[in-house]
Structure 1
Amino acid sequence: MQHRTVADLMTHDVVRARQDTPFKELVELLAENGITAVPVVDEMDHPLGVVSEADLLRKCSAQSDPSSGTPLPHLEIWERAKAEGATAGELMTAPAVCARPEWTAVEAARLMALRNVKRLPVVDEADRLRGIVSRGDILRIFLRRDDAIRDEITQDVLQRTLHLTPAEVTAEVHEGKVTLQGSVEANSLIPIIERLCRNVDGVVSVSAHIGYRDTSRAASADK
């Protein structure tokens, strides 16, 4: 069983900006490429930060609107400073929170959640930009075909890892929902089977209908 890596999921052809890229050009980069953020790199292609639509939108949200009856929220000093920014270096959110190509999708997703970011620039050993992975890229895991998920569970989890035969446990998958049926030697094995199946990329849920044959208890009862 092997999780998909960031290299499998990331966008390789990354649109970049430099620190001196002006505001209007940043808006054009996002619009022309159909993206919502762009990494800002230095001369060595090292990510310094990320400029997103939210960063650019502060330019509008900081403006006064006497005709509006809606009270405007108070902006922090750092928000006003960003709203007044005119280049990527002044507007970007920094430092850049980055991922490595060899990371699993799970690792990337955890970092996104921990740092509350929607995308991660992907860098190599020299910290040069090699791609970008977004929440949407990670969620593509759940577009895996049911038969591919079933085959991985049957062959990698049940047979290769747990040494169970189809006569003992079978797996069916529908829209990412796994149903396990069968019987195993010990009750303690059932939660292990469930946990390993949940860890397969693309699995939405696991429902286990597995009995067990505790031969040691039966032997004790006969004495």
Structure 2
Amino acid sequence: MHHRTVEELMSRDVVRARPDTPFKELVRLLEENGVTALPVVDELDRPVGVVSEADLLRKSADQADPTGRAPIPHLEAWERAKAEGSRAEELMSAPAVCARPEWTVVEAARLMETQNVKRLPVVDEADRLLGIVSRGDLLRVFLRRDEAIREEITGDLLRRTLGLDSRDVTAEVRDGRVTLSGTVGHKSLVPVVEQLCRGVDGVVSVTANLTYRPDDARDAPTGT
């Protein structure tokens, strides 16, 4: 079973900033390149942080409203320091939360969720920047064709991995939703098949309408 990796999904042409890149240059880089964040790299091209639109907007939020209608928000000390910053190293979120190119979509998505970030710089073994992967990049796996998903489930997973006959178990896929029908050898195999199908790239949900053969010794009633 093939899982698309971060390397297959990431953007390779990454716009970078340096720690000493000034505020206005950061704004220009974001605007001209149509991106919402920039990795900040050191002299060896290793990410040391990420500066985003949200980081830069703290400066605007910290300014007094000339109309007097909007109160100046309370900022923590670290937020105040960012609002007063003028270079990338003062404005960025650090340290950079990074991914590796061989990671699966699941690994990258879990890291984004636990770290509450929208994108991950991708680095090699020496921590040098290779690319960047965003939430949108990871969601592209759900654009996979239904037929490709069905072929992987019926061929790679059911037949080759689990040794199930295609006449016993069938898979129907519509808009990424998988419906399994048929009979498996024993009861304990039902959740295994369902879980493996959920791990196929592009699968949105799995409904397992599966029965099992009653002659399974583990399901046979015991004598009294």
**TM-score range for the pair, normalised by the shorter chain length:** over 0.9
Matched residue type, 2:202? G
The match for 1:93 is 93
Distance 2:84 2:44 in 1: 27
TM-score by length of 2: 0.95
Q: 3-state DSSP class of the match of 2:180?
A: strand
Matched residue type, 2:61? S
Matched residue type, 1:138? L
The match for 2:71 is 71
The match for 2:22 is 22
The match for 2:113 is 113
Q: 3-state DSSP class of the match of 1:43?
A: coil
Distance 1:26 1:69 in 2: 29
The match for 1:54 is 54
Instruction: Output aligned runs, 1:186-197, within 5 Å.
Output: 186-197=186-197
Instruction: Output aligned runs, 1:148-163, within 5 Å.
Output: 148-163=148-163
Matched residue type, 1:105? V
Contact 2:143 2:202 in 1 (8 A): yes
Post-superposition offset of 1:70: 3.7
The match for 2:82 is 82
Q: What do residues 133-177 of structure 1 show as CA deviations (whole Å, max 9, x unaligned)?
A: 111111111111111111111111100111011110000100000
Distance 2:38 2:112 in 1: 16
Distance 2:72 2:63 in 1: 10
Contact 2:99 2:108 in 1 (8 A): yes
Post-superposition offset of 1:75: 0.8
Distance 1:94 1:209 in 2: 48
Contact 2:61 2:73 in 1 (8 A): no
% identical equivalent positions: 69
Post-superposition offset of 1:188: 1.3
The match for 1:40 is 40
Q: 3-state DSSP class of the match of 2:170?
A: strand
Post-superposition offset of 1:72: 3.6
Distance 1:179 1:91 in 2: 49
Post-superposition offset of 1:66: 4.7
Moved more, 59-68 or 151-160: 59-68
Distance 2:41 2:70 in 1: 38
Matched residue type, 1:213? R
Distance 1:148 1:30 in 2: 37
Moved more, 8-17 or 73-82: 73-82
Distance 1:220 1:120 in 2: 51
| Number of residue equivalences | 222
- Could you list the runs of 4 or more consecutive aligned residues of structure 1 that deviate by over 2 angstroms after TM superposition? 68-73
Distance 1:220 1:56 in 2: 66
Matched residue type, 2:192? I
Contact 2:65 2:71 in 1 (8 A): no
RMSD: 1.7
Q: 3-state DSSP class of the match of 1:210?
A: strand
Contact 2:98 2:123 in 1 (8 A): yes
